[in-house]
Amino acid sequence: MVNIVGSYTTKYWHKNLIPVKTKMRLTKEQYALIVGTLLGDGTMRIGKNARNANLKIEQGLEQKEYTKYKYSILKDLVLTEPKMSLRYDTQGNRYAKSWWFRTVRHPLLTEIYNRFYTGNGYRTGRKIVPLNIIQDLSPQVLAVWIMDDGSFNGGIIDISTYSFAQDEILILE
């Protein structure tokens, strides 16, 4: 599991970010939100020349308040407030697509990235369900996952798992 109270320093950090990143810690609430988001709509990446991962939160326009809720929990890890993502249609007209924000890159996030994006020691190129996900499942993780990818129909909560392979889905049962 990720080091919830630890932190790291690296010579590759921009000097203006060193004070921010050396103080960075993940609370249990932040960790649960990140795990629930990764089971749902969240994505992580390590850029081409980057050493560490960051998390991107992106939700539809109608989920602005939900995006702000996630930001309120993760704001210690984020340098800018949520923004509206704009796109262009085939005629060149600009339209609003979603609300999003991204965390800073940090070794604590890379530990989580390695659990969700590597399989058998290599990068998979896609999110996976970690074999030991059961240790992370909590009411908060499930709540975030349901808010990201769930629906409630006929008294039943249904969670979309289409982005995961069948053998990974079986881990969740």
Question: The domain that contains 43 carries what CATH number?
Answer: 3.10.28.10
- Does residue 1 lie within any of the structural domains? no
Q: Does the pLDDT at position 121 exceed 60?
A: yes
How much is the pLDDT for 86? 87
Would you say 24 and 7 are in contact if contact means Cβ atoms under 8 Å apart?
yes
pLDDT tens profile 49-67? 888 899 999 999 999 999 9
Q: Does the pLDDT at position 12 exceed 80?
A: no
Would you say 83 and 101 are in contact if contact means Cβ atoms under 8 Å apart?
yes
- Does residue 10 lie within any of the structural domains? no
pLDDT tens profile 77-115? 998 899 998 889 899 889 889 999 999 988 899 999 999
Tokens of 29: 């609430």
- Does residue 148 lie within any of the structural domains? yes
| pLDDT mean over 123-143 | 90
